[in-house]
Amino acid sequence: MSLDPQKPLYVTAHVDDIKICGPGAKAFKELIHQKFPAKPHGLKHYLGLDIKRDRAQHTIHLSQASYTALIIKEFSHLAIKSNVPLSSLIKDTTDAKPTPEEVQKYQQIIRKLMYLVCKSRPDIHFAVIHTSHYTTKPPPDAWRAIREILRYINCTLTYG
């Protein structure tokens, strides 16, 4: 393996994901595999993103379909029919008294949706930010909004 500055080797690493690209990538990967056990996979899933490359069309599609599917699987019992992320604004009620368990579950859902928004789903940004205003005392209408968001992302898994 030679170090030619005209042929750079790009290496990115994050926790347990590593990607090596460049003309000397194959030799470098073999060197790494001698020292560290690793299983090679193509660039189909990297840093939580699902990557689809169409060489004929010269396109790359990034999504978090796998992560979105996990959210839906975990909270599918909450989803209701919706073709938009948020059909109406949340009506705040002062008499809402959610249990600590309800508040915790609401915060857990918001956290997962926020991660999704930050990585690949700007289409649900407004809805998630709006629902996040109620993390300490979610009224019943906030739960309706969460259900709509869950249903929407279930219908749009591969958006990215």
pLDDT digits (tens, 9 = 90+) for 122-149: 999 999 999 999 999 999 889 989 989 9
Quickly state the pLDDT bin for 38 (edges 50, 70, 90). confident
Separation CA 56–CA 67 (nearest Å): 27
Asked if the model's pLDDT at residue 40 lies above 80, the reply is no
pLDDT for the residue 93: 78
Q: Residue 54 is encoded by which pair of tokens?
A: 């169409």
Q: Is the pLDDT of residue 82 over 70?
A: no
19-26 contacts at long range (C-beta below 8 A, 24 or more positions apart): 19/43, 19/46
> Does the pLDDT at position 84 exceed 70?
no
What is the Cα gyration radius of the chain?
21
What does the DSSP 8-state code read for residue 40? -
Give the least confident one: 55-59, 75-79, 95-99.
75-79
**Can you give the pLDDT at residue 56?**
93
> Residues with Cβ < 8 Å from 93, sequence gap 6 or more?
139, 140, 141
Task: Please tell me the distance from the alpha carbon of residue 89 to that of residue 148, in angstroms, as a whole number.
Answer: 12
Model's pTM, two decimal places? 0.69
pLDDT of residue 133: 92
Segments making up each domain of the chain, as ranges: 10-62, 65-155
C-alpha–C-alpha distance, residues 15 and 126, integer Å = 31
